[in-house]
Homo-oligomer: A and B are copies of this chain.
């Protein structure tokens, strides 16, 4: 068998492993006693219009509804999605720029396989979603992580500039960010665009900007996430309806190759060809037709905003250092002892499940997914207080 594939199968992600432990523990002591902050599975239901639309479609012509669509997706669906993007962001795109996929993961894989040649490098900013390294490796590429600025987790432009090389094919960004919850500002995007133009010219090859945006609609404080292609012409976008419509299991998303991308027709065809070779065939047709009727809808994202307002200040008041999270239902918290694994292990003993940051390519933190019931946070807060007290007692003991 293929040894690399075996490794990927045999070693589930740290997130999945801890989530499975949380599930087992819930069966043992009751779900209400386990504070499971591991997985980014939306905790709010899909909007009613999703159900209503799907039920209406199911009562129509089954042959038309469930038949193959073109591999890029139904053309009327693609047109309507683009009209929405044009209205909201002046995106300037049409059906010929978009390809519907089974979620953002598939979109990202299609872009990697469409763009990368063997040993091409993809620069990304750590901490980052761990599957990026798996997806890029299968496409023959190499992920080159660059640590974010530890102060605000915006990109470190100097470190970034040093990371680009003759082998760099793309910079991959993810804002709102998993795992930090940080949203890149318009100022950040301006500087990134400048840097990419400069480096592309210096290196004599186009460096694409891949913007992975499953959390685009999940910004709860400050300015919304800016439309990335406005800042850099050679931007490709990945999107998923998993979070905005709470449909992660239905696998519906897209990639976009806007007409500002140099040679966009060929780039689009290469990424379509990659989708073909990856076995995608077409995105699920019922949900193609469903989401297009729900473009003005959002799941009740207000619950996440309330969780953020409750959780982050409470943790800060206890003495935790919490990253400037503004969206994406994640908090990124510095481990008091400076060791994310040790802190995660201590929290586990209190039945609080926190993913250590090492698997996101940065040491010393934990990720908290706050897409949970408010009650889970309320149960967790005294435990976080106890964890801090433990740490302080130990620190004092060492000092004394």
Contacts and interface: CB of A to CB of B under 8 A. Distances in A.
23 contacts: A1-B267, A2-B117, A2-B270, A4-B273, A5-B114, A5-B273, A6-B270, A8-B273, A8-B274, A10-B266, A41-B68, A42-B67, A44-B63, A45-B62, A45-B66, A54-B54, A54-B286, A62-B246, A65-B249, A66-B246, A251-B284, A278-B279, A284-B287
Interface residues of A, number: 75
Given A58-B54, A251-B282, A279-B135, A274 B5 contact: yes
Interface string A342-386: 000000000000000000000000000000000000000000000
Contacts of A394: none
Interface SS majority for chain A: helix
A7 B67 CA distance: 26
Given A1-B266, A267-B1, A282 B8 contact: no
What's the number of copies of this chain in the assembled complex?
A: 2
Interface string A36-76: 00010111111000110011001101110111110000000
A277 B5 contact: yes
A4 B250 CA distance: 30
B102 A281 contact: yes
A274 B1 CA distance: 11
A340 interface: no
Interface string A226-260: 00000000000000000000111111000000000
Interface stretch (A81-89, A104-112, A158-166): A104-112
B67 A248 contact: yes
B58 A284 contact: no
A118 B335 CA distance: 43
A269 B4 CA distance: 11
Contact of A58 (B3, B51, B137): B51
A138 interface: yes
A43 B68 CA distance: 11
Given A249-B284, A269-B10, A5 B62 contact: no
Contact of A276 (B46, B134, B250, B278): B134
B41 A51 contact: no
Contacts of A272: 8-9
Residue of A61, A110, A135, A249 ringed by the most chain B CB atoms within 10 A = A249
Contacts of A246: 62-63, 66
Contacts of A41: 67-68
A281 B251 contact: yes
A115 interface: yes
Nearest to A48: B62
Interface string A95-133: 000000011011011100111110000000000000100
A220 interface: no
Contacts of A109: 278-279
A43 to B, nearest CB: 7
Given A55-B58, A115-B1, A284-B249, A279 B108 contact: yes
